């Protein structure tokens, strides 16, 4: 049975789309048949991130009944399967989340996981995505404002019965002013399942329309994405030295 996992955040700028794309690539690397969907219909970014902004059929055209969901799936050079959304203003202004559940049901049943890159808010559109998802990962940076917004997202999602798998801390620098992992877990009442370090390779890869995991598989961020993917499918998590030692030094583990 296909798992639909929403990747959500309470605010923009915390790297939700980056996590969605790289997690998709890490899952694929572990033999999981996975498709990432740009479900932020009002402000889609995956099509820009991966260079699919000029493709034909997309999620918006599917929702309008112009194409089937199978026609909107593209194989990216990195190997991941992508359902992009349109960046056209005319399409964005006619977004209809109410049809999304039925549209997603048309994805091939051989797909193990569908990753929904959601819009960064808790508005009505985001809530529709919470209803659709079986499970959710919440992305936040380790600062009080972002974590507070993550808490609101978690509470709203739980109200719809969505299972919260955990929190991914993104853009972690190991600075003394960042919230500690234990404090974040206590505040959110949700486990931290990954800590992605600030990594210039992520910015470099975005400029090349590629996931960092694909271009820099040995980077610290890629190792952490690999661990998150392993966690999601019940595999043993890789232990490695440098970054976890840094986190211990700063009391982040």
pLDDT single digits (tens) 27-86: 999 999 999 999 999 899 998 999 877 778 999 999 999 999 999 999 999 999 999 999
Residue 61 lies in a domain: yes
**Using one digit for the tens of pLDDT, what is the confidence trace for 4-15?**
999 999 999 999
- Which distant-in-sequence residues (6+ apart) come within 8 Å of 136 by Cβ? 5, 6, 7, 8, 130, 157, 162, 163, 164, 165
What pLDDT, on the 0 to 100 scale, is given for residue 244? 52
Residue 86 domain-assigned (yes or no): yes
* Residues comprising the chain, all counted: 253
Residue 242 in any domain: the answer is yes
Q: What is the β-pairing status of strands 34-38 and 135-140? A: unpaired
pTM: predicted TM-score of the whole model, two decimal places: 0.91
How many structural domains compose the chain?
1
Domain assignment present for residue 189? The answer is yes
Q: State the chain's mean pLDDT as an integer.
A: 91
User: For residue 240, what pLDDT is reported?
Assistant: 52
One-letter-per-residue 3-state SS of 144-179: HHHHHHHHHHHHHHHHCCCEEEEEEEEEECCCCCCC
- CATH code (residue 24): 3.40.50.300
List helix spans (H) across 67-173.
Answer: 89-92, 100-104, 124-132, 144-159
- Specify if 205 maps to a domain: yes
Between 233 and 90, where is the model more confident?
A: 233
What is the pLDDT confidence band of residue 3, given thresholds at 50, 70 and 90? very high
pLDDT number for residue 212: 97
Question: What residue numbers bound the domain in which 220 lies?
Answer: 7-249
In a domain, 207, yes or no: yes
In a domain, 45, yes or no: yes
Given a contact cutoff of 8 angstroms between Cβ atoms, the answer to whether 179 and 145 are in contact is no
Is 1 inside any structural domain?
Answer: no
- What three-state secondary structure class fits 137? strand
């Amino acid at each position: 049975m296909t798992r639909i996992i929403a990747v959500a955040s309470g605010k923009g700028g915390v790297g939700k789309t980056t996590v969605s794309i790289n997690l998709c690539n890490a899952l694929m690397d572990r033999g999981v048949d996975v498709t990432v969907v740009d479900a932020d219909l009002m402000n889609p970014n995956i099509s820009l991130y991966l260079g699919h902004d000029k493709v034909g059929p997309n999620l918006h055209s599917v929702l309008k009944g112009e194409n089937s969901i199978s026609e909107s799936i593209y194989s990216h050079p990195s190997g991941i399967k992508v359902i992009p959304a349109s960046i056209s203003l005319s399409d964005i202004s006619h977004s209809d989340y109410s049809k999304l559940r039925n549209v997603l049901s048309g994805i091939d049943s051989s797909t193990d996981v569908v990753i929904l890159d959601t819009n960064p808010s808790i508005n009505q559109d985001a809530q529709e995505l919470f209803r659709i998802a079986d499970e959710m990962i919440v992305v936040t940076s380790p600062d009080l404002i972002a974590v507070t917004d993550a808490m609101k997202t978690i509470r709203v999602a739980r109200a719809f019965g969505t299972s919260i798998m955990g929190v991914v801390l993104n853009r972690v620098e190991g600075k003394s002013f960042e919230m500690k992992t234990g404090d974040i877990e206590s505040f959110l009442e949700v486990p931290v399942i990954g800590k992605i370090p600030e990594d210039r390779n992520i910015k470099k890869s975005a400029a090349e329309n590629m996931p960092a995991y694909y271009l820099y598989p040995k980077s610290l961020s890629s190792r952490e994405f690999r661990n998150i993917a392993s966690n999601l499918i019940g595999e043993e998590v890789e232990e490695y030295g440098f970054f976890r030692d840094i986190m211990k030094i700063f009391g982040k583990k």
